């Protein structure tokens, strides 16, 4: 009788190693660092950003900020696959041990900053090539702060802002405002490449110089 294979506790996609919630090191972190908002796992919308950037490409050694970063996998992807200098920002500092663990596993460095959307000033955004966020607009009260952050990024001359979401109503409201007032574009994005199967929407504001794809 064959032994039943144990369930894998990690996966790999877009060149990034992702530890699942069942991984012993993740379970160990949860003893002392239980996230207080929604940073208790990896969210699939991050794959939408990774896939889009894989198609679009990034400038050489870009400066990237992931807002509402949670475990920071999209930022880690940018660092690992595009040589980016990255900062992960979240309102809940208890997610940072999970981010740092994944940075260690993927052999990259990620700076962190604890802040709400409205806590990020123009000076924090200046000089960035890209601001990204995945699954970061799930409550109505987040609509105005997120829109204002995107507007602030535009004024700070950030090259591009990309926000990914499954398509929740609060995200749709941000999209409507960004399309009307900031020249934003909304794209439906689907992935089904054998290792990842997911779909959702991308709000894209701004553009980056023509660059080679990874």
The pLDDT value given to residue 38: 54
What DSSP string describes 185-213? EEEEEEEESSS-EEEEEEEEEE-------
- CB of 156 within 8 A of CB of 186? no
Please check the confidence at residue 7 and state whether its pLDDT lies above 80.
Answer: no
pLDDT, tens only, 112-165 = 999 999 999 999 999 999 999 999 998 999 999 999 999 999 999 999 999 999
- CATH at residue 113: 3.40.50.150
Q: Is 176 exposed, middle or buried (0-12, 13-18, 19+ CB in 10 A)?
A: middle
Q: Provide the 10 A C-beta neighbour count for residue 5.
A: 6
Please give the mean pLDDT across all residues of the chain: 90
- Interacting residues of 37 by C-beta distance below 8 A, sequence separation 6+: 91, 92
Q: What is the rounded CA–CA span in Å between residue 91 and residue 157?
A: 24
Query: In which element (H, E) is residue 131 found?
Result: strand 130-134
Distance from chain centroid for Cα 158: 16
Please check the confidence at residue 211 and state whether its pLDDT lies above 70.
Answer: no
Name the 3-class secondary structure at 140.
helix
Please check the confidence at residue 187 and state whether its pLDDT lies above 70.
Answer: yes
- Interacting residues of 156 by C-beta distance below 8 A, sequence separation 6+: 122, 125, 126, 128
- CB of 182 within 8 A of CB of 155? no
Residue 202 covered by a domain: yes
Kindly list the distances between the CA atom of residue 83 and the CA atoms of 7, 127, 139, in Å, as whole numbers in the listed order: 32, 16, 33
Angle (CA) 151 157 163, round 5°:
50
Sign of CA dihedral 65, 66, 69, 71: negative
Residue 212 covered by a domain: no
Residue 211 covered by a domain: no
Residue 187 covered by a domain: yes
Model confidence at 5, pLDDT cuts 50, 70, 90, reads very low
pLDDT, tens only, 57-80 = 999 999 999 999 999 999 999 999
* Residue written as token pair 């002392």: 32
Q: What is the rounded CA–CA span in Å between residue 199 and residue 15?
A: 19
- The count of structural domains within the chain is 1
The pLDDT value given to residue 4: 41
The pLDDT value given to residue 32: 67
The pLDDT value given to residue 154: 97
Residue 14 covered by a domain: yes
Residue 2 covered by a domain: no
Q: Is 140 exposed, middle or buried (0-12, 13-18, 19+ CB in 10 A)?
A: exposed
Please check the confidence at residue 197 and state whether its pLDDT lies above 80.
Answer: yes
Residue 183 covered by a domain: yes
Residue 173 covered by a domain: yes
The residue-averaged pLDDT of 88-117 equals 95
Range of the domain at 150: 10-206
More confident residue, 2 or 106: 106
């Amino acid at each position: 009788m064959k032994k039943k294979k144990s369930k894998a506790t990690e996966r790999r996609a877009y060149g990034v190693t992702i530890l699942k919630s069942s991984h012993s090191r993740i379970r160990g972190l949860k003893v002392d660092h239980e996230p207080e908002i929604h940073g208790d796992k990896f969210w699939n919308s991050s794959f939408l950003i990774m896939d889009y950037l894989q198609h679009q490409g990034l400038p050489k050694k870009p400066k990237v900020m992931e807002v509402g970063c949670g475990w920071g996998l999209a930022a880690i992807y940018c660092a690992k696959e595009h040589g980016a200098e990255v900062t992960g920002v979240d309102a809940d500092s208890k997610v940072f041990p999970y981010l740092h663990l994944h940075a260690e596993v993927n052999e990259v460095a990620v700076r962190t900053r604890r802040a709400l959307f409205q806590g990020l000033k123009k000076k924090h955004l200046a000089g960035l090539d890209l601001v990204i966020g995945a699954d970061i607009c799930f409550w109505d009260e987040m609509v105005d702060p997120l829109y204002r952050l995107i507007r602030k990024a535009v004024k700070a001359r950030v090259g591009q802002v990309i926000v990914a979401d499954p398509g929740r109503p609060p995200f749709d409201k941000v999209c409507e405002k960004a399309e009307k007032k900031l020249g934003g574009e909304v794209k439906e994005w689907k992935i089904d490449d054998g290792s990842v199967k997911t779909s959702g929407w991308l709000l894209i504001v701004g553009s980056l110089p023509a660059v080679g794809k990874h």
